[in-house]
Copies of this chain bind each other. A is one copy, B any other.
Amino acid sequence: MARAARDPEERIRERNIRLIIKAGIEIFARKGFDGTRIAEIAEASGLPKANVYYYFSSKEEIYTTIIAHLLASWDNALKYISPEREPAEAFRLYIKAKLDYTRKNMAESRLFASEIIQGARFLTKKDREHIRQVTDRHVAVIEGWIAAGKMLPVDPRHLFIMLWASTQFYSDFEPVAIDALKTSRLKAGDYDKAAATIAETILRGILPCS
């Protein structure tokens, strides 16, 4: 019955939801949850405000949809921290992947940072439990490398924070990074230079003296 007509409708539906989410990411990142107005999301996505409410029942539902999607793609760079790799290669790959992701998904990255800085109001207990478990798994890998004498005994949790923070900085704090690096905008070369400096410094900091 409706089956034949369902596909094109479904396509429009998916397209509109994508447009709303995309606009939402940009605006929530810039204004935070409370500062964002649905009307602005509607305008940026090219839909009337009422249609936004047709697809999402509230501002909160748009926001939490974005957060959920974000967390799903979050662990990606960490896959490089795996026991069958040598630490030097693993950290180099991780740093590069993390900076790449951050650069290509600036708005998402900032939205996540905003959400955390403003108190993680919309991170569920499950989300936070997930963060703990993912961290635990990769802490274990590092502990393995330390036990095998492949790395100096550096606290793995604080090491992860250093890596997370250093790579996150370039997109989240872009205006400050621009001033600190004396450039008018961050270019691909700046990210390469960042990756190289972070990797070299950290690797000398955690590997046995050669």
Interface on A for B, CB 8 Å cutoff?
Answer: 29-36, 110, 113-114, 116-120, 123, 128, 131-132, 135-136, 152, 154-155, 157-162, 164-166, 168-170, 172-173, 175-177, 179-182, 193-194, 197-198, 200-206, 209-210
Contact = CB atoms under 8 A, between A and B. Distances in A.
Copies of this polypeptide in the complex:
2
Contacts of A34: 31-32, 34-36
Contacts of A209: 204, 209-210
* A contact face: mostly helix, strand, loop, or mixed: helix
A182 B132 contact: yes
B114 A114 contact: yes
A105 B184 CA distance: 30
B31 A179 contact: no
